[in-house]
Amino acid sequence: MPDQVWPPLSPLHTGLRGRCPRCGQGHLFDGFLKLRQECEVCGLDYSFADPADGPAFFVICFACVPSVLLGVWLEVQYGAALWVHLLVTGPFMLLTCIPPLRPLKGWLVASQYFYKAEEGKVVRQAAPSPESSNEKAIR
């Protein structure tokens, strides 16, 4: 299969469904958030993928903040008892924070593949010699 040309697939479609970013058919995950070693259909090695804390960051920004605001609002507006917070704010926080982690991680991995993202490298250039700067000054 290495000679086969794969058409580019949208990271949004493949990542959110947890599918291989190259073929769109194989599975990306081997559990809830654990990535597989490689795709079972096309053999793509997933070692390039490193979403790090990206999914958790997005969940914190877009799901945890509203959950906390709900709890604060309940407390300030109604002076809610602890059991109310446990029955309302707790489940709301769990439902808005845990389910988005897997699709977000899939999307980030698929985006890394689609855009050929890799670790940054520092390229150091040699310092210009004093002779070459003198020649430029003379001209």
Nearest-angstrom CA–CA distance, 21 and 8: 8
Query: Predicted confidence band at 126 (pLDDT cuts at 50, 70, 90)?
Result: confident
The residue with greater pLDDT, 129 or 64, is 64
* Mean pLDDT value of segment 94-123: 91
32-85: per-residue pLDDT in tens? 999 999 999 999 999 998 888 899 999 988 888 899 999 999 999 999 999 999
Answer whether residue 2 shows pLDDT above 80: no
Structure tokens at 66: 């509203």
Query: Predicted confidence band at 5 (pLDDT cuts at 50, 70, 90)?
Result: confident
Closest CA relative to residue 51, chosen from 6, 21, 93, 81: 21
- At 4 the pLDDT is 84
Q: To the nearest whole percent, how much of the chain has pLDDT over 90? A: 67
The residue with greater pLDDT, 40 or 134, is 40
* Residue 54 burial by Cβ neighbours in a 10 Å radius (0-12, 13-18, 19+): middle
Answer whether residue 1 shows pLDDT above 70: no
DSSP, collapsed to helix, strand or coil, labels residue 43 as coil
Amino acid (one-letter) located at 26: G
For the chain, the average pLDDT equals 89
pTM exceeding 0.85: no
- At 86 the pLDDT is 95
Q: Give the CA distances from residue 119 to residues 18, 50, 54, 98, in Å, rounded to whole numbers and listed in that order.
A: 23, 9, 15, 28
- At 102 the pLDDT is 95
Structure tokens at 124: 């150091």
